[in-house]
Structure 1
Amino acid sequence: MNEPLPHPQLLLYLDALRDRALAADSLNSLAFTIANDLHPLLNFRQALVFAEHGKRFELLCISGLAKPTEDSPYLVWLQRASKWVASQLHGAEPQWLARDALEPPPDIADGWAEWWPQGVWCVTFREHGGKRLGMLLILLDERPPDTIPPMVRGVVLTWSYCWAALLRQRRHWRWRPTRRQTVGALLLVAMLLLIPVRQTVLAPAEIVSSDARIISSPIDGVIERIAVRPNQAVSVGTLLFTLNETSLKSRVEVLSKQVAVADAELMAASQRAFDNPQSKNELTVLGSVAEQRRAELAAVTAQLKRTQVFAPEAGVAVFGDPNDWIGKPVVTGERILQLADPSKPAMSIQLAVADAIALEPGAEVTLYLTAYPLDPLHGRILETSYQAKASEDGIVAYRLLASIDGKRDQARLGLHGTAKLYGKQVSLAYYLTRRPLSSLRAWTGL
C-alpha cells in the first residue's frame, strides 16, 4: 500500500525553507535560517548551529536570538559539549541522542541535566566530498516522528549546498601568498627601507621683519594714548604713544616754587651779608640748595618732555590691541611695540622640541602661508636659538629665523603659516622610526 503524500501546505513550507537558504548572502545569515525555520515543524526548545573548524566548533547561532558575545557558563559548557556530541555522530543521516541511552563524561552530564532536555536531534551538513562542515543540534523532549527525516532531507541537502558555496566564495577572495612571494615581499620592503630620503619636519611660522627696532618706555609711567594703529606705516618723527603727564606736571609746579623760595632765601642772605658776618657763611649753603632745586626741576622737566615718544625711523608699527595698553603702568625699558621694515621680511619659526632635527644655518625652508597655500615662499635658515623656551601656547620650542628668497609679494608682516624644514638625507627606516625610537628611549631610559 502506497504511503500518503504530504499535505500541500507542508510542501509549500519546505519549498520556502529552500528559497530562504538560497537567498542567504553570508554564513551567519544561513545559520540564522537553519536555527529558526524548523520550529513550526518540530516545536523544539532550542536549536544550536555549530561550524566545524578541524577539532574546534564555533557557535554560529542560537534560535530565537542573535549570537551571544558573552562568555556565560552555558556558552563555555557548549564548547565542550559540542566536541563530545560531534564524536557521537556517525554517517550523514540525522541521529537521535537520548540522555538515558548515553554515558557522557561527568562535566557533560551535569550540564545536560541543567540546561538540556531528554534528547538531542543532530543533523550534520557535509560538502560533496563527505567532509563535515557543521551541525545542527535540536533540543527536544522526545524523539521526532519517523516521517520527519525523509521530509526534511531535501532541505538539509540545500543547507549543505549553500554552506559549501558560501565557504568556497570566502576562500575564493582569500589570497594566501606562497613562501617565495613572502620572502620576495620582505626583501622588497627591506630594500625600500634603505632608500635615502631627506629628513623633513613641519613647524608653525610667522612673517616678521629681519630689521625691527624695539620701542620701549623711556620712563616709568602710565600709557595715556596710543597714537598709531597696529600695522600702520609711520615715518620719522611720527608720534607713537604718550604717557600720562599729571604727576610730572605737579612735580614741576612744586619744584618751580621750591626754586623760587631757594632764590628768595639766597637773595635775602646776600643783602644781610653786608652788615652781618654770620649771613656770609649761609650764602654757600643757600646757593647749593638753590642749585639742587634747579637740577631737580631740570630733570623732571626733561622727563616731562619724554612723555611723548616719536618714531626714530620709518617702518610699520607692530603690536597688539591698543586698548590693552591704555591705562597700563609701565616701567623704564618695557617693550611697547616694534618698528619693522616691511621691505626686509623673514620667517620666524617655532620648532617644537619633540620635532627637532639636526638643522644648520643655510638649510632650506618652504613656508606655506594660510592665506596663500598655493604660493609657497622659499628661504634658508639664518640663525637658530641656543636654548628652547616656552611659547605663548605653552609649547617648549626653538626659535629659528629664516630668510625669504625670490618673490615676496605675499610676504606681508604678521601672516602665519606652516614651515617645512629640510634636514640631511637619512634612510627611510630611520625617517619612519625616529619619533617612535625617541619616545621609547624617553620612556625606558635605554
Structure 2
Amino acid sequence: MTVSEPSPGIQFLAGLAALRDRALEADSLQALAFGMANDLYPLLRFHQALVFAQRGTNLDLLCVSGLARPSEDSPYLVWLQRASRWVGSQVDGSEPRWLARESLDPPAEIADGWTEWWPAGLWCVPLQGKDGQRLGLLLFLLDEAPAEGLQQHLSGLWRTYGYCWEALASRRRLSRWRPGRRRTLLALACALLVLLIPVRQTALAPAEIVSHEAQIVSSPIDGVIARMQVRPNQTVEAGTPLFALDETTLRNRAEVLGSEVAVADAELLAANQRAFDNPQSKNELTLLGSRAAQRRAELAAVRSQLQRTQVTSPRAGVAVYSDPNDWLGKPVVTGERIMLVADPAQPAMRIQLAVADAIALEPGAEVTLFLTAYPLQPLKGRILETSYQARPSDEGVASYRLLASIDEHPAHARLGLHGTAKLYGERVLLGYYLLRRPLASLRAWTGW
C-alpha cells in the first residue's frame, strides 16, 4: 500500500503552521515585521505589504516587503507617512477591512498618490494585544479582495502575530526600562548628597629630588673651559678643583703688559735724570708716572684673573652637572652657571606644578612623591617654598616651582631621581572637586 500525495488543503494548513512557527521564533519586533511583510506572498500574491506600528494616533513604518530597510527620504515613503494616518482612521475595530479605491473619497493628496503607487484595493489587517489595544496595522496592496474562506483561515495567524508582537514589545520595554519620577528624584537627591561630601583637594605634578643645600658654581671670568677636573656626581671637599679655564690669552696678555711696565719705568727713569738740567722734563714726570702706574694696575688685574682660572669647590658635597664633553672648549661668560655642589644628606623635592592643575597650597601642605624607580616606596614631605610667578618648565609648560622637604631622609631618596608628586590642599566639596576644571575651561572659553 503506497502513501498518497498530500492534498492542497493539507499543504495550505501546513503552510499556515509554518508561518505561525516562524513568527514564534522571531527574536525581535523588526524580525517579526519582516516575516509578516514577506512570508504571506505565496498565499496572497500581493503587490506590496506594509507593516506599521501604532504610536498613539500615528503609524510608524516598520517594514516594506522586498526591502531590508526602507529609505526615509524617498518620495513614496514621505507620501506613505501621510497616507498611513488616513488609512488608520478608516479601519475601526479588530476585524480586517477591504478598502476599494472606487468606493472611497480620500483627500486629494492621498488620491493622487494612490493612483500613482497603489493598485485598486487595500486589505487592512489590524493587530491587537490581549487587552484589545491596537499594536499595529498590516496592509496588503491587492487588485481584489481575498476570498472569504482564505480570510477565515488567516484569522488565527493574525492572532498569533498579535501575541508575538505584544511579547516582543514587552521585552523591548523591559530592555529600555526607565525609572519613574519618584525614583529619578530620589536618585538626584542621592547624587546631590554625594556631591556635598567633603574631600581633600589634590593635584599631580612632575617632581625631582634635589638638594635643599646646593650652591651654584659659575664662571668667575670670561673664557674657555680647558678641562673639567671632576666627574658628574663625584663627591668633593671644600677646595677641591672643579674645572679650569684656558690661560693662554691671559698669559700672553700678562707678558705684553710686563714689557709695557718695563718700558714705562725706563721712560720715567730717563725723565727723572733729564729733570736735573732740563726744567721742561719735570713737566713730563707726572704723565710718565701715571702711565707706569696704569700699566702696573693692568698687569695686576690680568694676574688676578690668572689666579681665578682655577675654580675650586666652595663647600663639601656632590658635583652635579650633565657631561664633561658638553663643557670642554665651550666659551663661557662671567656668572654663567657651570654646575652645582649639592649636599646629598639634605634631599628635597623640586616640583613643577602646571598652571592648569594649580590648587591653593600653603607652606606646610602635605606632599607624597612616587618615584619612578621606587613606585612602591613613596616619600612623604611638606611644602617649604612656593613661587608666585609661573615660568615655562623644561617641557615648555607654564608651571609654578615648589620646594618640599623629605621626611626621615630614606636611603633611596637620591639626588636626580624623578617621579610624580601628589599635592594635598584644603578640604572642599566633592562637587567642587569634580567640576573645578570643567568650570575653569568653560570660563576660559566663554569669558563668562
TM-score range, shorter chain: 0.7 to 0.9
Equivalent of residue 396 in structure 1, options 398, 402, 414 = 398
User: 1:6 maps to which residue?
Assistant: 8
TM-score scaled to structure 2, two decimals? Answer: 0.84
Unaligned runs of 5+ in 2: 1-5
Separation in structure 2 between the aligned mates of residue 244 and residue 144 of structure 1, nearest angstrom: 113
Once the two structures are TM-superposed, the CA of residue 342 in structure 1 deviates from its matched residue by 1.7
Instruction: Note closer, same or farther for the CA distance 1:184–1:233 as it changes in structure 2 (3 Å cut).
Output: same
Q: Which residue of 2 is the match for residue 62 of structure 1?
A: 64
| 1:314 alignment partner in structure 2 | 316
Match of 1:294 in 2: 296
**Aligned counterpart, 1:207:** 209
What CA distance in whole angstroms lies between the structure 2 residues aligned with 1:321 and 1:139?
Answer: 89
Q: Find the aligned partners of 1:311 and 1:412 in 2 and give their Cα distance.
A: 21
Map 1:229-244 onto structure 2 (within 5 A): 229-244=231-246
- Tell me, in whole angstroms, the C-alpha distance in 2 between the residues paired with 1:65 and 1:236: 91
Q: How does 1:410-429 map to 2 (within 5 A)?
A: 410-429=412-431
RMSD (CA atoms): 3.3
Alignment correspondent of 1:162: 164
What is the Cα deviation at residue 86 of structure 1? 1.7
* From 343, 346, 353, the counterpart of 1:344: 346
Report matched runs for 1:234-313 at 5 Å: 234-273=236-275, 276-313=278-315
Give the equivalent residue in structure 2 for 1:433: 435
Does the 8 Å contact 2:233/2:320 carry over to 1?
Answer: yes
Distance 1:147 1:316, change over 3 A: farther
Q: Look up the SS of the partner of 1:109 in the other structure.
A: helix
Q: Could you report, residue by residue, the CA deviation over 1:71-108 in whole angstroms, capped at 9, with x for unpaired residues?
A: 55544433322222222223444444344433222333
The alignment partner of 1:425 has SS state of strand
What amino acid sits opposite 1:419 in the alignment? A
With over 3 angstroms needed to count, the CA separation of the structure-2 counterparts of 1:38 and 1:234, relative to structure 1, is farther
SS at match of 1:386: coil
- Residue identity opposite 2:417 in structure 1: L
Partner of 1:216: 218
What corresponds to 2:92 in structure 1? 90
Deviates more, 1:177-186 or 1:283-292: 177-186
| Aligned equivalent of 2:108, options 102, 106, 129 | 106
- 1:278–1:170 Cα change, 3 Å: same
More displaced stretch, 435-444 vs 402-411? 435-444
SS in 2 for 1:188: helix
Counterpart amino acid of residue 428 in structure 1: L
Deviation of the 1:20 alpha carbon: 3.6
Aligned partner (choices 355, 363, 376) of residue 353 of structure 1: 355
Do structure 1's residue 191 and structure 2's residue 193 form an aligned pair? yes
Tell me if the contact between 2:219 and 2:338 (Cα under 8 Å) persists in the aligned partners. yes
Amino acid at match of 2:368: T
Question: Judging changes above 3 Å, is the alpha-carbon distance between structure 1 residues 116 and 253 closer, same or farther for their aligned structure 2 residues?
Answer: farther
Tell me which amino acid in the other structure corresponds to 2:384.
Answer: L
In 1, are the aligned partners of 2:346 and 2:409 still within 8 Å (CA)? Answer: no
* Residues 263-303 of structure 1, C-alpha deviations (whole Å, 9 max, x = no match): 44344445555554444443432232222222212222322
Does the 8 A contact of 2:71 with 2:77 survive in 1?
no
1:330 alignment partner in structure 2: 332
Q: Which residue of 2 aligns with 1:29?
A: 31
How do residues 127-166 of structure 1 correspond to structure 2 at under 5 angstroms?
127-140=129-142, 149-150=151-152, 152-166=154-168
Confirm whether residue 405 of structure 1 aligns to residue 407 of structure 2: yes
Shift, 1:197, TM fit? 2.1
Change in 2 beyond 3 A, CA 1:319/1:73? farther
**How far apart are residue 177 of structure 1 and its match?**
4.1
2:369 aligns with 367
Q: Say if 1:265 and 1:437 are closer, same or farther in 2 by CA, change over 3 A.
A: same
CA distance in 2, matches of 1:128, 1:21: 17
Structure 1 pair 42–362 and aligned structure 2 pair: CA distance change class (3 A): same
Alpha carbons of structure 1 residues 199 and 21: separation in structure 2 relative to 1, 3 Å: same
Superposed CA deviations along residues 365-407 of structure 1, whole A, max 9, x for unmatched, are 2222222222221111112112223323333332221111135
2:203 partner amino acid: V
Query: Counterparts in 2 of 1:35-46, with a 5 A limit?
Result: 35-39=37-41, 42=44, 44-46=46-48
Which amino acid is 2:239 matched to? G
User: Partners of 2:433 and 2:168 in 1: how far apart?
Assistant: 44
Once residues 326 and 210 of structure 2 are traced to their aligned partners in structure 1, the CA distance between those partners, rounded to angstroms, is 22
* Mean CA deviation greater in 381-390 or 220-229: 220-229
Distance in 1 of aligned mates of 2:306 and 2:42: 105
Q: Which position in structure 1 is the counterpart of 2:379?
A: 377
1:170–1:291 distance in 2 versus 1, CA, 3 Å: same
Give the Cα–Cα distance (whole angstroms) in 2 for the partners of residues 68 and 221 of structure 1: 84
Give deviations 1:23-46, integer Å, cap 9, x for gaps.
332222333333333455555554
Shift in alpha-carbon separation, 1:285–1:33, aligned structure 2, 3 A: same
| Consecutive unaligned residues in structure 1, runs of 5 or more | none
Matched position secondary structure for 2:8: coil
Q: Which moved more, 1:201-210 or 1:27-36?
A: 27-36
Q: Please list the CA deviations of residues 214-270 of structure 1 after superposition, one character each: whole Å capped at 9, or x if unmatched.
A: 122212234454444444433333443343444434433433333343344344445
Question: Alpha carbons of 1:353 and 1:280: their partners in 2 closer, same or farther (altered >3 Å)?
Answer: same
Could you tell me which residue of structure 1 aligns to residue 3 of structure 2?
A: none
Q: Which amino acid aligns with 2:61?
A: L
Q: Please list the CA deviations of residues 135-189 of structure 1 after superposition, one character each: whole Å capped at 9, or x if unmatched.
A: 2334456655666545655544433322221122233455454555444434433
Task: Please say if residues 72 and 78 of structure 2, whose CA atoms lie closer than 8 Å, have aligned partners that are also in contact.
Answer: no
